[in-house]
């Protein structure tokens, strides 16, 4: 029984250590491979959904139909060989009238990670959110030790307690572990939402800056450098975009520690002091009237 509580305590640390604030919000950078300056970026296509497949029978012959998500019977090796059959005649495509020719592509290259690496707004917010993630991990470890000690104490006193007292103490430990998991999960969620809020501000200005730089050079197609095998500095827009970003957005608004951006009223968000290299971290800002409870 005591081991159950120790495992519950260990789950708290696993929750905190699985979360790394800075990398999580760093990955919210634009992930598209291209965009056309002066136009809205296309929405990312939805991920393809797996279709039904035929599972082989016991002797290798035809089996039954396996739908997506069906865990019963069927090939678990990653898919069946390509179906070798003759298709029906292909339909005749209608003629397409000649349309306007597309303009010749004038390409620019942009490295988003390199822009973020020199962005003062990004680096400062990264540091602040990383500190919050580290504090979450430390608090979870302390709670793990406390729950383990309670379980060991109960194990040593079990022979001196009545069955009712044992059940009562077991319930206290279980309730504390459950409440701790809820609190740490809430703090985890709030930090991740703060990271998303930060990246929404940075992405918006960075994309606008990239479009301005591209248009100023007559570029009509910007590609992500991560998708390019090789290029020259003549095509690289990264330094110019980084300069525009730092001038236009030297700081970003980071929600106060423990406050989700979803709970921030618009007027309050507009008046919130942005985090900068010389400003105090957001965790030192004035707390709201009823801040979330922390362990």
> Apex CA 111: angle with CA 105 and CA 117, to 5°?
160
Q: pLDDT value at position 84?
A: 84
Residue 52 near residue 221 (C-beta atoms within 8 A): no
295 domain-assigned: no
The confidence score (pLDDT) of residue 264 equals 84
- pLDDT at res. 246: 97
161 domain-assigned: yes
For residue 112, the enclosing domain spans: 2-39+105-281
Calculate the alpha carbon distances from 98 to 27, 101, 102, 152 in Å: 43, 9, 12, 81
Q: Calculate the CA 78 to chain-centre distance.
A: 27
Rounded Cα distance between 122 and 213, Å, is 20
Answer whether residue 270 is part of any domain: yes
Q: In this structure, is residue 162 part of a structural domain?
A: yes
The reply to whether 144 falls in a domain is yes
In a domain, 290, yes or no: no
65 CB neighbour count, 10 Å cutoff: 10
For the chain, how many structural domains are there in total?
1
Whether 271 is in a domain gets the answer: yes
Q: What is the pLDDT of residue 79?
A: 59
pLDDT tens-place values along the chain, 295 residues long: 545 554 544 454 454 444 444 444 544 444 444 444 555 554 444 444 444 443 444 444 443 433 444 444 444 445 567 778 888 999 999 999 999 998 999 999 999 999 999 999 999 999 999 999 999 999 999 999 999 999 999 999 999 999 999 999 999 999 999 999 999 999 999 999 999 999 999 999 999 999 999 999 999 999 999 988 888 889 999 999 999 999 999 999 999 999 999 998 654 444 444 554 333 343 333 334 444 444 4
- pLDDT of 119 reads 97
Determine the pLDDT at residue 232: 87
Amino acid 82: pLDDT: 78
* CA distances (Å), origin 282, targets 127, 128, 287, 292: 11, 7, 10, 15
Q: Is 63 helix (H, G, I), strand (E, B) or coil?
A: strand
Residue 183 included in any domain: yes
């Amino acid at each position: 029984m005591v081991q159950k509580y120790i495992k519950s305590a260990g789950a708290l640390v696993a929750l905190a250590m699985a979360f790394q604030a800075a990398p999580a919000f760093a990955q919210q950078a634009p992930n598209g491979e291209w965009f056309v300056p002066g136009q809205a970026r296309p929405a990312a296509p939805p991920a393809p959904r797996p279709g039904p497949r035929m599972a082989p029978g016991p002797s290798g012959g035809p089996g039954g139909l396996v739908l997506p998500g069906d865990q019963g019977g069927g090939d678990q090796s990653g898919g069946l060989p390509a179906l070798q059959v003759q298709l029906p005649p292909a339909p005749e495509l209608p003629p397409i009238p000649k349309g306007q020719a597309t303009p010749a592509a004038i390409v620019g290259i942009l490295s988003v990670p390199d822009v973020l690496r020199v962005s003062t707004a990004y680096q400062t917010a990264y540091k602040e959110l990383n500190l919050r993630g580290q504090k979450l991990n430390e608090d979870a470890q302390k709670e793990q030790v406390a729950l383990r000690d309670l379980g060991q104490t109960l194990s040593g006193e079990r022979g001196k307690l009545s069955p009712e007292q044992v059940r009562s103490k077991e319930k206290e430990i279980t309730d504390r572990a459950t409440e701790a998991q809820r609190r740490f999960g809430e703090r985890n969620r709030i930090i991740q939402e703060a990271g998303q809020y930060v990246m929404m501000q940075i992405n918006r200005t960075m994309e606008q800056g990239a479009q301005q730089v591209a248009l100023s050079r007559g570029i009509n197609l910007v590609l992500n450098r991560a998708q390019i095998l090789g290029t020259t500095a003549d095509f690289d827009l990264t330094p110019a975009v980084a300069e525009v970003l730092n001038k236009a957005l030297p700081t970003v608004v980071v929600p106060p520690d423990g406050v989700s951006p979803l709970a921030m009223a618009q007027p309050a968000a507009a008046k919130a002091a942005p985090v900068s290299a010389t400003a105090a971290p957001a965790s030192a800002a004035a707390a709201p009237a009823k801040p979330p409870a922390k362990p």
